[in-house]
Amino acid sequence: MNVPGPDRHALVTGGGGFIGSHLVETLLRLDCRVRVLDDFSTGRRANLPDDPRLEIQEGSVADLDAVGRAAAGATMIFHLAAIASVGRSIADPRGTHRVNYGGTVAVLEAARRWKVPRTVIASSAAVYGDADAALRRETDETHPLSPYAVDKLASEAICDFYRDMHDIRCAALRFFNVFGPRQDPASDYSGVVSIFLDHAARNAAPTIYGDGEQTRDFVHVTDVADALVAAASVPWMPEFGAVNIGSGKATSIRGLWREIATLTGATATPKRASARSGDIRRSRADISRAADLLGWRPQVDLAAGLADMMEARDGRRQTAAVR
């Protein structure tokens, strides 16, 4: 693996966000210079370390000029900036399209302009839709159920176009349900894990939509950061394209709450609500392609990841108490 180092200069769009900030930390640990482009509409400057190797540029990924300036001198681009909300994409498809698809085009144009050696874009398991398959493989048909998922699939397609037409070395990683420290349970973009943990800490009843037997593949954010680095570092192969990044294990929403309640001692009984539009019934990743192409396998299981989140939360509370 061609691991990043001091001669490497990475651009991370959305670097102030949940996944982006963990990727920034990983890159800095590898002694890579990092530039972050973020409009901080959902990301936070507080997520980013104070490090002389880190440069922050405030701007939108939908702004072609801002992306072009940020990409100058980069040897790798990680495109994570997005409006990662199915509900918001349904309510405002035009606005989310401008960021989610338009931002990808802006990044690829910048990669072409500056001849960036490797670009990695964040896609989503949402592209698979609700096909009746126990295991999601990259070769499966796609059936996006929301404008967000449509934009992610279109981003993969335009990545393929730039690879074939302009020889841009671009790979798309299909993230499944990413969880870990820094997920904000109050955010519209937060995952169910952080929301459930927040409710458990207050012994408050969470809401489970539908029957709760829908399954998700939960993958820890540090494993996702490692996968991103691997995709930018391994020798280039034309057969790249989309790659699943998940744990390879399925957990039901109801089962997730049971595990969190056991871990925290919460006794609240979840409330029930109607299934939400655009929600997927079953989701579990086949991660064999990630192992074959990237040499990547997840290292943090769900139980360890939940404990990690609780420890990080308790640490924040202790710090607040001291102050």
At 316 the pLDDT is 55
Per DSSP, 285 falls in state: B
Give CA–CA dist 106/276, Å, rounded. Answer: 32
Contact (CB, 8 A) for 280 and 126: yes
Which candidate in 101, 128, 148, 162 is catalytic? Answer: 148
Which residue(s) pair with 173 in the sheet? 122, 243
Contact (CB, 8 A) for 193 and 183: yes
In this predicted structure, the answer to whether residue 323 has a pLDDT above a threshold of 90 is no
Give CA–CA dist 42/47, Å, rounded. Answer: 11
The answer to whether the Cα torsion of 137, 294, 81, 212 is positive or negative is positive
- What percent of the chain is modeled with pLDDT above 90? 81
* Number of helical H runs and strand E runs in the chain: 11, 13
In this predicted structure, the answer to whether residue 233 has a pLDDT above a threshold of 70 is yes
Q: What is the mean pLDDT of residues 112-126?
A: 96
CATH architecture of 9-179+220-248+285-299: 3-Layer(aba) Sandwich (3.40)
In this predicted structure, the answer to whether residue 322 has a pLDDT above a threshold of 50 is no
Contact (CB, 8 A) for 28 and 50: no
Contact (CB, 8 A) for 295 and 232: no
pLDDT digits (tens, 9 = 90+) for 171-180: 999 999 999 9
pLDDT digits (tens, 9 = 90+) for 273-313: 998 876 778 889 999 999 999 999 999 999 999 998 988 87
Which residue has tokens 């009843």?
205
Domain ranges of the chain: 9-179+220-248+285-299
Mean of pLDDT over the chain = 91
Which residue has tokens 């699939």?
153
Give CA–CA dist 107/110, Å, rounded. Answer: 5
pLDDT digits (tens, 9 = 90+) for 28-70: 999 999 999 999 999 999 999 999 999 999 999 999 999 999 9
| Gyration radius (Cα) of the chain, Å | 19
Number of C-beta neighbours around residue 25 at 10 A: 18
pTM for the model stands at: 0.91
Instruction: Specify the long-range contacts of residues 39-42, CB closer than 8 Å, at least 24 apart.
Output: 39/81, 40/16, 42/17, 42/83, 42/84, 42/187, 42/189
In this predicted structure, the answer to whether residue 190 has a pLDDT above a threshold of 70 is no
Number of C-beta neighbours around residue 304 at 10 A: 11
Establish whether 189 is a catalytic residue: no
In this predicted structure, the answer to whether residue 98 has a pLDDT above a threshold of 50 is yes
Please give the structure tokens belonging to residue 11: 């651009």
At 321 the pLDDT is 33
At 2 the pLDDT is 53
In this predicted structure, the answer to whether residue 192 has a pLDDT above a threshold of 50 is yes
